[in-house]
Amino acid sequence: MAIDLKDKNVVITGAARGLGRAYAEACCAAGARVAVADILEAEGHETAESLSAGGGDATFVPVDLADPGSVEAMGAAIGGAWGRIDGLVNNGALATGLGGKRIHNIDVEVWDRVMAVNARGVWLATKACLPWLRQSANGKIVNISSDTALFGSDFILHYVASKGAVISMTRAMARELGEDNIAVNAIAPGMTRV
């Protein structure tokens, strides 16, 4: 069964490459207007341009998920331009290059950066988009966790902890935002080739 997202406005964080780009491609193919939100400006512009050249409706919006001001500006720019947001995919996260550190070897600064982007960034992006999600008849938020949060994984404690937080936040968000007709779910992908 094909998914129809015609006339839907979708924001995807971390959409410049990898899984985020695949989500953006799928949403565009289903007819959505997509905001490619990412800290990687060159890749983000290229992704948006590629999607638009392929018949999609995509635009790049810069965002640093660790910077509350940047995230607020992203939400204001997209919401102000579109008037409403129908879907938010909280995909942006730090993962590359984190592996290989035992618990006692993880630097506090790296731990804090992973938490700031992977966990706090989900909250900040949701908060920034919420006024415009409330303008949708039935808003949707999809938080991207990881299967590592379900079974644990060695040598990436900070990443696993951040993705476990995403699952917990999803449960709390779903309870709180249901009264606004906003559904909140999480998915936990495993190893994926994109």
Residues marked as catalytic: 159
CATH number of the domain within which 86 lies = 3.40.50.720
Number of domains forming the structure of the chain? 1
High-pLDDT (> 70) share of the chain, %: 98
The answer to whether residue 40 is domain-embedded is yes
The answer to whether residue 84 is domain-embedded is yes
Per-residue pLDDT reduced to its tens digit, 56-115: 999 999 999 999 999 999 999 999 999 999 999 999 999 877 778 899 999 999 999 999
- Name beta bridge partners: 91: none
Q: Which domain holds residue 116?
A: 9-187
**Residue 176 in this model has a pLDDT that exceeds 90:** yes
> pTM of this prediction?
0.95
The answer to whether residue 132 is domain-embedded is yes
The answer to whether residue 2 is domain-embedded is no
CA atoms within 13 A on the CB side of 188: 17
**Residue 16 in this model has a pLDDT that exceeds 70:** yes
Is residue 8 within 8 A of residue 32, CB to CB? The reply is: yes
Strands 33-38 and 9-13, sheet pairing: parallel
